[in-house]
Amino acid sequence: MAEITIAAETRTEFGKGAARRIRRADKVPAVLYGHGSDPVHVTLPGHDLMMALKQANALLTIDLGSDTHLAIPKQVQRDPIMGFIEHADLLIVKRGEKVTVDIAVTLVGEAAPDTLVVLENASVSIEAEATNIPDGVEVSVEGLAVGEQIHASDLSLPSGSELAVDGDLLIVNVTAAPTAAEVEAELAEAEAEVGIEHDEPEAAEGDAPAEGEGDAAENADSE
């Protein structure tokens, strides 16, 4: 994993007003913490941080000029509408030490026909060296049949990485694909739960009247 260097500034202003001013300047307030040291409050360039965090578990070198810190993102707050980064908590790490992180699970291959592959957990927690965190782990579902499962203990993790969860954690479950009738029944049930009703189709011109309708019309004409 390549290290990404980001130039930072020491932050001395705090509070909502200061945070808004920082964001208006296209910067992000952040905190560095870990290893029993006092938290270090910094300001990071917004664009550089956004680009760095496109890589999962990015390894960051935070350059404060007179000092540098090696860190990984621990918690990132984003604007729920615009998506820009509002604040970042960065965990200070040391070379050679191991950290616990979540990595993505990616499925490859095709299961047997008429099956439905369910990814029960899209990520898994592992322990790895801070400077050698894998981007993710691939799981092959090639040829899997109905009823087969893949658990965390079945994953092939990169060298130097170990599971940080119970090996029985279910990752992939292969079930029978639903039939068209089952899909329609589930859709109808879901619509009924939210109160969706469908109008009855109107009869086209020239359709024969239902039984009894013709007699009723003749009786009305004769009265």
Residue spans of the domains in the chain: they are: 3-93, 99-176
Paired sense of beta strands 27-34 and 85-92, if any? parallel
Where does the pLDDT of residue 8 fall: very low under 50, low under 70, confident under 90, or very high at 90 and above? very high
Say what the pTM is. Answer: 0.71
Per DSSP, 143 falls in state T
> How confident is the prediction for the chain on average, in pLDDT?
85
Domain boundaries 99-176, CATH class: mainly beta
Torsion-angle region of 199 (φ positive above 0: left; ψ -120 to 50: alpha; else: beta)? beta
Residue whose token pair is 């020491």: 10
Where does the pLDDT of residue 41 fall: very low under 50, low under 70, confident under 90, or very high at 90 and above? very high
pLDDT tens for 129-147 read 998 899 899 999 999 999 9
Q: Which residue has the higher pLDDT, 108 or 195?
A: 108
Per DSSP, 68 falls in state E
CATH topology of domain 3-93: Ribosomal Protein L25; Chain P (2.40.240)
Mean pLDDT of 40-45: 93
Could you tell me which of 106, 153, 86 has the C-alpha nearest to residue 126? 153
Mean pLDDT of 74-79: 89
Matching fold, domains 3-93 and 99-176: no
215 pLDDT higher than 80:
no
